[in-house]
Structure formats: C-alpha cells, structure tokens
Amino acid sequence: MTVLADLRRPGIATHFARVLTLRAAELGVPEERLLGAVRLNRRLLEEDRVRISPVQLGALMRTVWRELDDELMGLGAGAHRFGTFALMARQMVDSATLGEALRYSVRFFNLTSPALRWQLSESPHCQLALRLVEPERDREHLLEEFMLLVLHRFCNWLVGERMPLRLTDFAFEPPPHRGEYRLMFPGQLRYRRPISAITVDAAWLEAPVIRSRHDLRRYLQVLPDEWFIKQIFDGSVSARVLRALAEHSAALNLDELARSWHVSSRTLHRQLKREGNSFRRLREQYRRERAETLLLEDSCAVGEVARALAMTEPAFSRAFKQWTGMSPLAYRRARRR
C-alpha cells in the first residue's frame, strides 16, 4: 500500500522509480537493466519504506532517456530526442533576464514538442502552466510533476536564487504520494484545477540571468541528478554549513558552529529557516550521502563508517535504517546486486 512520505527521512520515495521502471519495461527496456541502474532489486523497489538517493533516481532516468531516446520517458504524445533540453537551455542561458528566458522556453516547446503545451502569464503574477496533449499516457502524473519541477529548478539555477513558489496547481486529484510535494513544490498546493501550473512573484521576470554557457556545460553533465537534490547555491548559509560539516566529519553541532561564526545559535537557525533548511536536516543529508559512498567501499566496515560520521555504530545503524528502510549491510548487498 502506498503511504504518505515520511519527510523526516532524507531521500526520495521509491514511487517515482517504480512508475518509471514500469513504463520503460512496457516499452521494451529490460527490467534488469533498469534495476541495475538504480542498484535495487524488485522487492526493495516495491517497498514504500525504502527511500532512494537523487543519484539513484538520476541514474535510472538517464538509462530510460538513452534506451528510449526520449527525455519524456515514454510518457508523452511523441518523444523529445535525447539532447532536447540542452538545446533549449543553451538559448535560455544567453537571455538577459528570466522573463526573456521563459518566453523563449515556451516558444521552443510549443513549436517543437508533440506532447507539451506551455502558457506563460506575466500579470499580476508570473504563472507557468502546462497541459499534456495526451494526458492518458501519463497515468501516474510523473511527466507533469517532472516538467513543473524541472522548469522551476532550472530557473532558480539561471538566476542563482531560490524563487519561492506562491502556488502550485495540479489538474488532478491528490495522489497517494502527495506528501513528497512538500519537498518538490514548497508552498501552497491546490488540486483539481483547470490546468497544472507554478506561480511566482512577477518581479522575478526582471531578475538577471547570471549563468554562462561555460556554467551550463558543467550543469548539463550532472543532469538529471541536479533536479532531485534540494538546491543549495554557493554563498548561501546552507552551503557554508555543508562545507563545515564535511571539514569536521559531521562532528559539529549547531551551537559549536554558531560560536565559530561569531553569531548566536538562534540567528543561525533563523538564517537557515529563511532558506527552507535546518541544521539537523543538513547534517542528516550530509551523513546519509557520505554513508552511502563509504558503504560501497569494500574495505570500509560499518563501524568505520559510523566513526567517520561522528556516530556510534548502533546509533548509525538505527539512523541508516530510518533513512533507507535497510540496515547498512543489507544496503551494501542490495547495491552490489
């Protein structure tokens, strides 16, 4: 049974990987190739308690893109050949403002895509709305969710800031996995709307595009993983916290870090909250990602992983099972298979 996400645990619900694997298998991609990409077996993929990493979901999506030569993953009325997004992004990054970039993206998709119809409204707020030509192909709404997420996160990257969402509308009923939307689309959510859309303040249309084609080349190399990771931009307080955790092997606590930065812990907490983060969440994110990396090294015992994260072995094993639904050793065996 599908349940609402437990957002206290890092990672991504297996729901998205299940839907993607099922659709690609229906279109002829061997399931073992898909499960090999996500490094899970069928039993774990069906387990709702398991949460996968952005890297796992990204690897699965890249496999589907290449196998089907379709960045719409077989969920649209016709394909976007592999490289379509990169072609559009190169023009967007040359724009002077975000408004100019969005106007180009809407024209690009509406001229070239057999599957997507975008609408851009600029007043009183900036609303980017999406309609699928054949929505029946996207039974679980994965494509609709994905395209809204991608456009919002790519726009954030273009201007180098997180644009708060005023509203996110969905033209469908609340899905069983709607708990995930609190991470994907933070802000007010509305269902059963005439059209699916994201809305931000109109002032963002005048925001300058600060990225270059050189930046874009590096960005494209880490797609689609980058779209599934909570965005933390260089210069932000959250980015500084993650660097501090890496330097001290996650041994820091909030009070110690605040003292080293000559601010109060309350001030640091408020600064992180403004960015939609918390010290606890960032430390947990760092610990999980570091643990997953270390567990794939044959020479690294579970106790060594725990010590590298400034945790006792029992505390680490309990935390890791909360994060992934598996013990560290079971996770290592599953990833190897």
The pLDDT tens digits of the residues spanning 17-48 come to 999 999 999 999 999 889 887 777 788 788 77
Q: Which residue has the tokens 């709702």?
A: 48
Tell me the pLDDT of the chain averaged across its residues. 88
Position 4 confidence tier, pLDDT thresholds 50, 70, 90: very low
d(CA 326, CA 43): 12
Could you tell me the pTM of the whole model? Answer: 0.73
- Which option is the CATH number for 237-336: 1.10.10.60, 1.10.760.10, 1.10.1040.10, 3.40.50.300? 1.10.10.60
pLDDT at 5 over 60: no
The pLDDT tens digits of the residues spanning 62-80 come to 999 999 999 999 999 999 9
Kindly list the domain boundaries of the chain, sorted by start residue.
12-206, 237-336
Q: Quick one: which of 135, 84, 129 has its CA closest to 111?
A: 84
Question: What contacts 285, CB < 8 A, 6 or more positions away?
Answer: 10, 230, 242
Instruction: Calculate what percentage of the chain has a pLDDT beyond 90.
Output: 53
Q: Which residue has the higher pLDDT, 6 or 325?
A: 325
The pLDDT tens digits of the residues spanning 264-311 come to 999 999 888 877 778 988 888 888 888 888 887 767 889 999 998 889
Give the chain's radius of gyration (CA, Å). Answer: 20
d(CA 231, CA 254): 21
The pLDDT tens digits of the residues spanning 191-206 come to 999 999 999 999 999 9
Number of H helices, E strands in the chain: 17, 7
Residue pair 82/95 in contact (Cβ under 8 Å)? The answer is: no
